[in-house]
Amino acid sequence: MHIEFYKNPTWLHYVNPTLKFILFVFLFIFFLFIHHLHFLIYFTVLLTLIYYIQLGYPIKLLFLLSLPMVIIFFTSFVSMALFGKGETTLFQFAFVHITEEGLYRGIHLGFRSVIFGLLGMIFALTTKPVYFFYSLMQQLSLPPKIAYSFMAAIRLLPNIIQEFLSLRKALKVRGVIFKRSIPGFYQQIKHYAIPILALSIRRAYHISVAMEAKHFTNNRNRTYYYILKYSKRDVYFVFLTIVLLFAAYILQRFYPFLPIDRIVA
């Protein structure tokens, strides 16, 4: 599989997208039922190392992209720590009631959210949408009309953004000023949404006619520009995932640093 990805691609970029997607979905479901905080902490640390070392992007860019995950961790932690229920009270003032159980559950929920965010970022940063849908068609027999419809929709997003910027400049040149109020906000949505929606519907109609003319309704005997197959990198990826899970289990089993598993379980 010879595919050009980015300036500094790593072996993760060449893992079969379907295998990567199925394995990440499994991890999402798996961590929904994990309640051992040490296991979540250790897996988060190991996954963070993979995120910063194995993606091939500049560290500064990866750090900026990880800032939303820090915010998610903080909000998840605060929502459970300040207003969670428990028996051992650590601090209480007015409606704020911090308990030991709520504090640990907040940390537990925060790390779980970070794991979900890291998995999503790793998949997004190492998988191009075009190759992902090609892989779904070839490995999971996804109907081409559905796959190509999604790819066309993704390709339309930059055009929609460009149309929005052009429309905003045109309104500014014409001296259109919106008031900072609810009626002004409604008027602003009206000026932007209707033209962009009309152009999008027209463009979608042209794409549907072109796809029908090229026989996208026929799912048989179709050839593909990109041929995506399984390779030894897929074996490495599955092995790496198993190693990360096993290492997190060993670390939480023999090196627990907080007596909190019994509280969050």
Whether residues 150 and 120 fall in one domain: no
The whole-number pLDDT of residue 188 equals: 74
Q: Which residues pair with 96 in a beta bridge?
A: 93
* Cα–Cα–Cα angle for 221, 227, 230, rounded to 5 degrees: 120
Whether residues 179 and 85 fall in one domain: no
Residue 16 in contact with residue 234, Cβ under 8 Å?
Answer: yes
Query: Is residue 49 in some structural domain?
Result: yes
The whole-number pLDDT of residue 4 equals: 47
**Residue 80, SS3?**
helix
Burial 43-53 (b: 16+ CB within 10 A, else e): bbebbbeebee
* Residue 127, burial from CB neighbour count under 10 angstroms (0-12, 13-18, 19+): buried
Whether residues 108 and 27 fall in one domain: yes
The whole-number pLDDT of residue 260 equals: 59
Query: Is residue 21 in some structural domain?
Result: yes
Query: Is residue 180 in some structural domain?
Result: yes
Query: Is residue 80 in some structural domain?
Result: yes
53: tokens are: 């070392």
The whole-number pLDDT of residue 265 equals: 45
| Residue 187 structural domain | 144-213
**Phi, psi dihedrals of residue 225, rounded to the nearest 5°:** -70, -40
pLDDT tens track of the chain, all 265 residues? 444 445 578 889 899 999 999 999 999 999 988 888 889 999 999 999 999 998 888 889 899 988 988 888 888 878 777 766 666 666 666 666 677 677 778 888 889 999 999 999 999 999 988 888 888 888 888 887 788 777 777 777 777 788 778 877 877 777 777 777 777 777 777 777 778 777 777 877 777 777 777 666 655 666 777 788 888 999 999 999 999 999 999 998 887 766 655 444 4
Whether residues 193 and 93 fall in one domain: no
Query: Is residue 33 in some structural domain?
Result: yes
* Residue 182, burial from CB neighbour count under 10 angstroms (0-12, 13-18, 19+): exposed
Query: Is residue 138 in some structural domain?
Result: no
The whole-number pLDDT of residue 205 equals: 77
CA distances from 218 to 4, 143, 144 (A): 29, 9, 8
* Residue 146, burial from CB neighbour count under 10 angstroms (0-12, 13-18, 19+): middle
The whole-number pLDDT of residue 262 equals: 47
Domain total of the chain: 2
Amino acid at 25: V
Whether residues 94 and 148 fall in one domain: no
The whole-number pLDDT of residue 19 equals: 93
Query: Is residue 153 in some structural domain?
Result: yes
- DSSP letter at 128 equals -
The whole-number pLDDT of residue 208 equals: 74
The radius of gyration of the chain's CA atoms, rounded to the nearest angstrom, is: 24
